[in-house]
Chains A and B, each alone.
Chain A
Amino acid sequence: MRAFGYEIDELVVDHVLLAVVPVLLGLVIALPLGWWAHRSRGARRVLVPLSGALYTIPSLALIVFIPVLLATPILSPLNVLVTLTIYAVALLVRSVAEALDSVSDTVTTAAVAVGYRPTGLLLGVQLPLAVPVLTAGVRVASVTTFSMVTVGALVGVQSLGTLMTDGFQQDYTAMVVTGIVGSIALAFVFDALWLGLGRSLTPWSRARAGV
């Protein structure tokens, strides 16, 4: 589909990749960190404020600084990807720790008592039971990331944000609105997907007596 001189389909695919990959990577990085913060009071005192502090770095500064650090070309989408992954980690470390905290002590004690080792306990008991709280955290990270992708357009990385920057320059309102509405719609769609995934992983959470 072509409009405003752009292949909209391509912009949408770029936008989705730039938003979804950082959330997935962020989750993979945040899981061990969050688990550590959950296990150790000392680690938590450092990790949670530190990851929160990452969020205070202005995104544009980060996007511009990353190429210096990683020696990537200034226009590479990788810079946006890395920046957004850092923000996702910042949001998710705390979420993972809190999701693991939400698992009842009685259940983890019982799991240890029947002979789970730490890894089996995490993968077989704690993570599955942490899914409801974790899903809530991932949804926040996902929505945030979808809106932040547009910042990449300022340094020339393509996404629906490109329609906004170019639209402003050309004083073309319909183009700007298409960019805004499109990026909001994508954020909603993926929010619903995360919600659906979380629910499909937790059929037990909707079971009540007499069902």
Chain B
Amino acid sequence: MIEFRDVGKRFADGTVGLESLSLTAREGEITVLVGPSGCGKTTSLRTVNRMVEPTSGSVHLAGQDVAEADPALLRRGIGYVIQQAGLFPHRRVIDNVATVPVLQGLPRREARARAAEVLERVGLDGAMAQRWPAQLSGGQQQRVGVARALAGDAPVLLMDEPFSAVDPVVRVELQDELLRLQADLGKTILFVTHDIDEAIRLGDRVAVLRVGGRLAQFAPPDELLAAPVDDFVSGFVGRDRGYRRLGFVPATALRLVDLPTRADENGSSGVPGEWTVLLDGAERPAAWLGPDGARHDLGSVYVTDGADAASDGAGTLRGALDAALSSPAGRGVAVDGAGRYRGGVDTDDVLALLDRGAP
């Protein structure tokens, strides 16, 4: 647990970095600090490992005031991921990751064994271990940065805009990776970003900060989307928030409908006059067959269980609506976590659910 108690920071030149921040990042959760530049999010992050000393208030880590800890020892017990990875260019990947175990006093051989384990955990194979950081792509460097932060086995991770320097596709991969790791590891993570979509995707709770480190709202992401407290937050959360919020609403009351299906074989014909789903050998939908006998793209599918991180059992209303709207047939295709055909999603059913105020 990380606790900010009335933390203020006035810099030597008189600028106010933080006015008075009070906030608790809960054990085992991802707490995201988000806000425009100058809102003090990085400053507040750095008060946790004493890279910035507050001028008022205090920060407590697992109940201990960090001001009483030796800064270097404190930092060795907190994982830190920096923007652009901040890898040591003169050390091979494996030794970058082994840095913290070595600082913690582990013999080099054991530290490297530990580093190899962690590298595997973040999805980097053994061949990468002997490379220099300059030989890696941005996404790979960032993975190594995460591995380095995990190698010390710290219960707390601080992440300062870790994914902002990579391209959008890789960023989503890295975000998924983090969520997967977090499901296994259950670290207490304080994550700083200026990207509200990233905040909503990753955060168990999201703190929106105004300039000067004033807390505008601190809430779970769906609450932030549903009920922004003021114009600043709603402006920051952005457009389409009603639609985006459907991504947090499980479609428990949605009944699947039966659709005509056929095995996808050479020259297979559909049910006359109807839209038919073609299934491959593993029962996975492959395409639509139109009433005219032409093949059509499937559109996006509604995933009913398990595979969607935001759901437990049912998929999300956003997934259902998107499947229905993107299908050429007027009805969407539902699949299970393994991609097998489960049924159809009727647009009218989804709209009726929305109409009943399901969210």
Contacts and interface: CB of A to CB of B under 8 A. Distances in A.
Are A and B genuine complex partners?
Answer: yes
Interface of A: 106-107, 109-117, 120, 125, 128-129, 202-205, 207-211
Contact of A110 (B87, B90, B135): B87
Interface stretch (B74-82, B205-213, B278-286, B336-344): B74-82
Contacts of B187: none
Contacts of A113: 49, 51, 75, 80, 82, 86, 158
Given A115-B73, A115-B75, A107 B88 contact: yes
Contacts of A112: 51, 75
A114 B96 CA distance: 11
25 contacts: A106-B84, A106-B86, A107-B88, A107-B89, A109-B51, A109-B86, A110-B85, A110-B86, A113-B80, A113-B82, A114-B99, A115-B74, A115-B76, A115-B103, A120-B103, A125-B88, A125-B90, A129-B88, A203-B132, A204-B132, A204-B134, A207-B131, A207-B132, A207-B135, A208-B135
Given A109-B51, A207-B134, 7 more contacts: A106-B86, A107-B89, A113-B80, A114-B148, A115-B74, A204-B89, A207-B135
A128 B84 contact: no
A178 B305 CA distance: 88
Contacts of B73: 115
A129 B87 CA distance: 12
B309 interface: no
Contacts of B253: none
Nearest to A113: B80
Q: Is the interface of A mostly helix, strand, loop or mixed?
A: helix
A109 B82 contact: yes
Given A107-B88, A114-B100, A204-B89, A209 B135 contact: yes
Nearest to A211: B135
A129 B88 CA distance: 9
A115 B72 contact: yes
B contacts with A: majority SS: loop
Contacts of B137: 209
B75 A106 contact: no
A133 to B, nearest CB: 13
B135 A114 contact: no
Contacts of A116: 72, 103
Contacts of B90: 125, 128-129, 202, 204
A174 B346 CA distance: 102
B275 to A, nearest CB: 48
Nearest to A106: B86
A209 B128 CA distance: 12
B83 interface: yes
Contacts of B257: none
B80 A209 contact: no
Name the residue among A113, A114, A128 with the largest chain B CB count within 10 angstroms.
Answer: A114
B172 interface: no
A110 B89 contact: no
Nearest to A131: B90
A115 B132 contact: no
Contact of B83 (A106, A114, A120): A106
B136 interface: yes
B134 A209 contact: yes
A4 to B, nearest CB: 48
B137 to A, nearest CB: 7
Contacts of B82: 106, 109-110, 113
B134 A111 contact: no
A114 B87 contact: no
Nearest to B79: A114
A36 B51 CA distance: 20
Interface in B80-134: 80, 82-91, 99-100, 103, 131-134
Given A106-B86, A107-B86, A209 B136 contact: yes
Contacts of B72: 115-117
Contacts of B88: 107, 110-111, 125, 129
Q: Which 5 A-B pairs have the closest CB atoms?
A: A110-B86, A115-B76, A207-B132, A115-B75, A113-B80
Contacts of A106: 82-84, 86
A128 B92 CA distance: 13
